[in-house]
Amino acid sequence: MTSRTRWQTLVTIALVTGVLTWWVLERLTSQGTVLPEVSWLVGPVELLIAAVVLSMGWAVRQYLRGKRPSLDPIRAARTAVLAKAACYTGALLVGWYGGQLVLRVSSLDIEINAARAWAAGAATLGALVLLVVGLVVEHMCRVPPAEPEQDVRGTHA
């Protein structure tokens, strides 16, 4: 069994990625490079992925609570792995789009950057939701520890 994802690790990943993104894009713009736009579809797609991860985690949770008669163990394991992947992907994307957001917000005097800042902000928010959903689903997939077996006399083995 893998260890639980630490939120401190995810914050570190997001911050390092965000600073590197901002730094590289700042250097590119100072050299006159035109940066690609963030599509307005990114945020909704991230939210859709988060909803799929959450629905899969909910099925595992219902099974673990005895409210669902059966669940393929491979599906449960895949859901746990997907939740962990959502955590790390969300952290990376928060940094990537967050770095772009900071760059755009720092130059709002350029008219086109306002619209680009909104798109980067929506993408950052969608990535943050994906990260949080990943953590929640990872928690949902945790199997409670087994109770110690008792021998015939009623004492713990």
Q: What is the secondary structure of 25-80 as a DSSP string? A: HHHHHHTTPPPPPPPTTHHHHHHHHHHHHHHHHHHHHHHHTT-SS---HHHHHHHH
Q: For position 113, what pLDDT does the model report? A: 79
Q: Is the separation of the CB atoms in 99 and 20 below 8 Å?
A: yes
pLDDT the model gives residue 45: 97
pLDDT in tens, the chain (157 residues): 467 888 999 999 999 999 999 999 999 988 988 888 899 999 999 999 999 999 999 998 888 888 878 888 888 889 999 999 999 999 999 999 999 999 888 877 777 778 889 999 999 999 999 999 999 999 988 876 666 665 555 555 4
Please state, in angstroms and rounded to a whole number, the distance separating the CA atoms of residues 4 and 74: 19
Note the pLDDT of residue 36: 81
